[in-house]
Structure 1
């Protein structure tokens, strides 16, 4: 190939190489090409704008929803089993009654999102922003909330068997009347004014005295062996 032909092809070759390098970055989600498609199992809405929609009962099992913006969207009753919602935005969204077993909610932003009565056994909410989220009545067996921000989250009557709150912020969260049989992990969780009234925590793992002293229990609260009921609970007068 002569020098003139090489110079003519160089810009096209350079662009192709640049695109290949960008798309080959490890961990980078695939470029979404289905933002305008209707909900369906396994679709790719990664990085799409899906704000302010009313799409209850949507079939999104196994879908790629990485970094999708669902702000104020109604996904109540949606099928999100095994879907990837990592880094999705779910601020004030509605996922009440959703089916989300084994879904990936890691690093989502979900302030005031409702997961009430959702089924999310085996899902992960690791490092998620879940302040004031509503998990009341949700099925959360084996769920990971490790390093999650759960300030003022509501877990009333949620099933938390095997749930992991390691390093989570549970400040002012409501765990009263939560249901669990077997272990539940609180290793290094921040439990400032966490509501644990009436809870049987005898099977809890990683719970330490300083956490108990910060939390809000009552005479019906049961603690693991070796831990003592505080002389007075911080929330006794509330």
Structure 2
């Protein structure tokens, strides 16, 4: 008959090269302090090391599924390839810990301190990381599918004064989520400012009111992501896929959206002041009441987009495709529309006045009367009014062409005073009267008689 386990097993500690196996009571675990040692916390699932101190402990490939490690100190610990499935690590200190390739499926990491932790390629599917601190953490290629990161701090400290680029501070650490899988993750209110998310997958991710200011989001896939009210000021979204994303009320001032895909995206009431959308595709996008002041849209595809009430003051839309776009009540003052395609666009009640005048932007000719409606010339189209203006009561007649004058009838006699009238003045009466038929010998081709001379 086997006896019960003793509090300590000397066999595991008898050889200096063997790791120590822990089998302690709850009180002993709470008081446990292991620093810089090779420790194996394994055995049955549900190992309890609450408030334990495991600083720099080696737990590589350890099976800690279901372990209770609340408020434990695991700073600098090696947890690479460890099994932490459904483990409770809430409130734990994991600063500088190595969790490379760790399995943290459904793990509880709420309010955990993961500053500068290595979570690259870790599996954090459905993990709860609400309120956790991940400043300067390495999350490259990590799987955060359906993870909860609400109010989590993933920000990178802004560069110091005078350091404007990575070249200025090559040793500076950043929160790196490059190529991370964040599909359907819940990141409401998360702080990701100045972080790297290049080529990350944010499909259907919830980032409501998240802080992504100055973040690097180049090449991300964020189709149908929820970013309403998010702060994306100065963010780099070059080549980003935001098709169908909800960016209503988001702040994208100064953002770089070069070659981004915004097809079907909702940008209603969004602030895009000074944003760069060169080569962007925004077919069917909703930009109603959006602030597009000084936006670069040359060239961009906004065909079928809804720009009702949008403010495009000073925007550069030259060469852009605005065919079938809705620009009702849009503010187009000072907009450069040179070469823009407005075929089928609705510009009802649009405002087209400002400095410089719209017509001057198109042809280079100044508009003498600022009250005149501007005219938009599109490729292959005749000039047409850019706004819905009332049709004038009388349209001035165009002067007939020289070769369009009717030829005189052969049997018509010239007017009597034709010789005395100057050649340059046109005849007052365009109708030529024939002589009466009752006058005998009348010849319509005979020269007119000179006054005062006998016949």
What TM-score range do you get, normalising by the shorter chain? 0.7 to 0.9
- For the 8 Å contact 1:150–1:168, the answer to whether it is kept is yes
- Rg bigger for which structure? 2
Pair 1:169 & 2:301 matched = yes
Instruction: Report the equivalent of 2:347.
Output: 217
Instruction: Report the equivalent of 2:154.
Output: 40
Matched residue SS, 2:187: coil
Q: 1:117 to 1:51 in 2, by over 3 A?
A: same
Higher helix fraction: Structure 1 or Structure 2?
A: 1
Instruction: Report the equivalent of 2:5.
Output: none
Matched residue SS, 1:204: coil
1:1-238 matches, within 5 Å, as: 33-34=138-139, 35=142, 39-42=153-156, 43-180=175-312, 182-208=313-339, 211-222=341-352, 224-225=358-359, 227-228=374-375, 230=384
Distance (whole Å) between structure 2 residues aligned to residue 161 and residue 94 of structure 1: 24
Q: Which runs of 5+ in 1 are unaligned?
A: 1-30, 234-238
Q: Deviations over 1:134-173 (max 9, x none)?
A: 1111111100111001001111111111111111000001
Distance (whole Å) between structure 1 residues aligned to residue 254 and residue 199 of structure 2: 21
- For the 8 Å contact 2:302–2:325, the answer to whether it is kept is yes
Provide runs of 4+ in structure 1 moved above 6 Å.
none
- For the 8 Å contact 1:136–1:155, the answer to whether it is kept is yes
Instruction: Report the equivalent of 1:16.
Output: none
Q: Deviations over 1:37-87 (max 9, x none)?
A: 965102100001000111100010001000000001100100001000000
Scaled by the length of structure 2, the TM-score of the pair is 0.42
- For the 8 Å contact 1:202–1:225, the answer to whether it is kept is no
Matched residue SS, 1:225: helix
Alpha-carbon RMSD:
2.2
Distance (whole Å) between structure 2 residues aligned to residue 36 and residue 192 of structure 1: 41
Scaled by the length of structure 1, the TM-score of the pair is 0.77
